[in-house]
Every structure is written in structure tokens, then in C-alpha cells.
Chain A
């Protein structure tokens, strides 16, 4: 089954403790992206990647890092999480080109205390 898999689904952590949210897709998609979803703000893009070893900042990259060492994986790294990073995070992937829709993961709900 074609899918985008994120782990974990839920995560509670404390300020400053490094964490990684994993994202993997099995559709051989070139494009992968991370979004955060906050009430009243909708979906905002954090980082995206057009292909292996190619990553770029989205609209709200501060406090986040990503890597794209393999085509299928696109982990989101929070080196020193802060409470304002408490949010619902979605990973998505697609082929290149406008006709290829975004496929989303199930989301990761992160709480930073």
C-alpha cells in the first residue's frame, strides 16, 4: 500500500531535549515536505526536499533541521525543542510536477513542556 509513515504518533518531551520525528514513503517520490498545523494558522511549511541531499527552508524553519540521505526518508530534527514547537506535524510527499498530489502521513502530535 502506498503510504507516508510518520513515527511516533504522539510525543511528550521537555525543553531542550533533542528529538527526531521520522518520515518514510514507499512511492519513490522525489519531493518530501514537513508542515506544522496550528489552530487558526493552518498548515505552514517547515522544510522541503526536492531529492536526495537537496533540502530547502519553508516558511517556518527556525528551530528545525532535516536531512535527506535516502530518497524514502526525511526525518525532522529538533535539536533543542521549546514550548512554542508544541504542534501537530505532518510529513508529505509527491512526485514532481503540478499533477502529482501531496500524500500526507498520519501526523505527529508533539508536546514540549
Chain B
């Protein structure tokens, strides 16, 4: 079954420390993965997608098919990075393309 797992509910780091938010997926086809971010009292917004191979706000994520992972990384955390982060998998199914979300990880960056 298609599934996205984010094992950590909360990740607390100090400002300037490296950050890695874990995401593992289960998908039978070729996966298409995204990271969404939700800052306090704001809407969810797309942070990055693996097909773009981009770096947004210093964050990167590499798809590792061998480990079925798509971890989100940033070398030096900033306080403004504190937010809820969701990993999502696009599930292609006939006429329906559906995003499957993980349960989210709350990143708290301490000063």
C-alpha cells in the first residue's frame, strides 16, 4: 500500500545546528515526492519537490530509492524555520492523482 512515514512528531534543535527531517515512503511505482511546510497560523505551502532538485530557504531533499527515503535537510537551522513539515507522495491512480501525506514533524528551533 502507498504510505508516507514521518517517524518523528517533534524535532527540537538549536539555532545553527544541522536539521534532518525524516521521510520514508512505500510505493510500487516511480515515486514523486514533495515537502510542504506550515508556519504557525498559516496555510500549508509547497516547500520543494524532488523532481525540481531545488534548494528552497536552504533546505534540500534527495530521493533515495534504495532506502525509500526523502529526508529534508538543512545545514544550519534558523529560528524562522520553526514550523510543521509534511512529506507527501503523489499517488497516480487512473484519472486520479492524489497526494498522500505523512503525519508531519514539528520542527522547533531554539535560540
- On whether the beta carbons of B42 and A106 are closer than 8 Å, the reply is yes
In the bound complex, residues from chain B placing their C-beta under 8 Å from that of A4 are: 43
Interface locus among B11-19, B75-83, B100-108: B100-108
The answer, yes or no, to whether A96 is at the interface (CB within 8 Å) is yes
The answer, yes or no, to whether B92 is at the interface (CB within 8 Å) is yes
A41–B9 CA distance with the chains assembled, in angstroms: 10
Number of interface residues of B (CB under 8 A): 24
- On whether the beta carbons of B102 and A101 are closer than 8 Å, the reply is no
Per-position binary interface string of chain A over residues 41-81, scored 1 when its CB falls under 8 Å from any chain B CB and 0 otherwise: 11111001010000010100000000000000000000000
Question: Contacts A45-B98, A50-B95, A96-B97; is A105 near B43 (CB within 8 Å)?
Answer: yes
- On whether the beta carbons of A56 and B96 are closer than 8 Å, the reply is yes
Q: List 25 A-B contacts (CB under 8 A).
A: A4-B43, A31-B97, A35-B101, A42-B86, A42-B101, A43-B86, A43-B104, A45-B98, A48-B96, A48-B98, A50-B96, A56-B96, A90-B44, A96-B97, A97-B97, A98-B51, A98-B90, A98-B92, A98-B97, A99-B51, A101-B34, A101-B46, A101-B49, A102-B99, A104-B43
- A residues whose Cβ falls under 8 Å from a Cβ of B: 4, 31, 35, 40-45, 48, 50, 56, 58, 90, 92, 96-99, 101-102, 104-107
Contacts A102-B46, A104-B44 known; 8 new A-B pairs at CB < 8 A: A40-B9, A42-B102, A56-B96, A96-B97, A101-B34, A102-B36, A106-B43, A107-B43
